[in-house]
């Protein structure tokens, strides 16, 4: 089975300036994603999709291929699925399996990527493997507003007082790893192609860089603090 790692890395970002080039453990977020992908024997190609010349130079320095984005997929509102479509068409891909690695998950381990690949290969009926982590707050302990403006429990009011241990295990998508064939992804317009499997990652490994505070925390974790 042939795997291609795709790393989407726009030049612009709102919360953190030049986010994909920020350092964690002395290595840029982009660099860390490329290094991880290049460390997996199953991955034959590593492609960075970007609209930025600086990110292009960083990607080449870490020995990744570079896909130049179109204007349509370089905006704040661009969807990752549309980026993948362009990568598929522009980079001469056919029957390969896509491994999407977002640079904003810098503490994702090589073992996590390999674990997702193992899950994908273990059962030939599986079309997608998605990384997840435990929910910090259980979703059953949430109230939402209904159409009448009343606040109601997600499932049952009794859940709001139930010990967490009595509730079913709840996991959230952490955005670190998505595995799906390019053809399935494009045909379904989604990374979530049934049947799916989910691969659980730890809380620290699941950190997503969205602010300078996240960057600070990631660097403290790297330093063992």
> What CATH number does domain 3-134+170-222 carry, 3.40.50.2300, 3.40.50.10890, 3.90.550.10, 3.40.50.970?
3.90.550.10
Check: CB of residue 106 under 8 Å from CB of residue 88.
no
Q: Identify the pLDDT of residue 76.
A: 72
Tell me where in the chain the CATH 3.90.550.10 domain(s) lie: 3-134+170-222
Q: Is the pLDDT of residue 225 over 90?
A: no
Q: Identify the pLDDT of residue 75.
A: 73
Distance between the two ends of the chain, CA-based, in angstroms?
40
Which residues sit opposite 172 in a β-bridge?
Answer: 133
Mean pLDDT of the chain: 94
* pLDDT over 90, % of the chain: 90
Q: Is the pLDDT of residue 71 over 80?
A: no
pLDDT in tens, 107-142: 999 999 999 999 999 999 999 999 999 999 999 999
Single pTM value for the model:
0.93
pLDDT in tens, 11-62: 877 779 999 999 999 999 999 999 999 999 999 999 999 999 999 999 999 9
- 3-class state of residue 141 by DSSP: helix
Mean pLDDT of 187-196: 96
Contacts of 89 (CB under 8 A, 6+ apart): none
Mean pLDDT of 144-161: 94
- 3-class state of residue 222 by DSSP: helix
pLDDT in tens, 79-97: 899 999 999 999 999 999 9
């Amino acid at each position: 089975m042939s795997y291609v790692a795709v790393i989407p890395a726009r030049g612009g970002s709102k919360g953190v300036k030049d986010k994909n080039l920020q350092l964690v453990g002395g290595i840029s977020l982009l660099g860390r994603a490329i290094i991880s992908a290049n460390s997996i024997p199953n991955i034959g190609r590593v492609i960075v999709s970007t609209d930025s010349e600086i990110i292009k130079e960083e990607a080449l320095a870490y020995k990744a291929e570079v896909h130049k984005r179109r204007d349509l997929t370089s905006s704040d509102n661009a969807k990752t699925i549309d980026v993948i479509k362009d990568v598929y068409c522009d980079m001469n891909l056919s029957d390969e399996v896509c491994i999407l690695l977002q640079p904003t998950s810098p503490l994702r381990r090589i073992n996590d990527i390999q674990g997702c690949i193992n899950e994908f290969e273990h059962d030939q009926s599986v079309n997608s493997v998605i990384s997840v982590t435990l929910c910090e707050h259980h979703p059953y302990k949430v109230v939402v507003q209904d159409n009448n403006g009343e606040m109601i429990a997600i499932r049952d009011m009794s859940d709001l007082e139930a010990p967490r241990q009595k509730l079913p295990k709840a996991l959230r998508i952490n955005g670190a790893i998505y595995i799906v064939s390019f053809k399935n992804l494009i045909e379904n317009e989604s990374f979530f192609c049934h049947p799916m499997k989910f691969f659980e990652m730890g809380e620290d490994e699941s950190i997503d860089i969205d602010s300078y505070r996240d960057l600070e925390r990631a660097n403290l974790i790297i330093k063992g603090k």
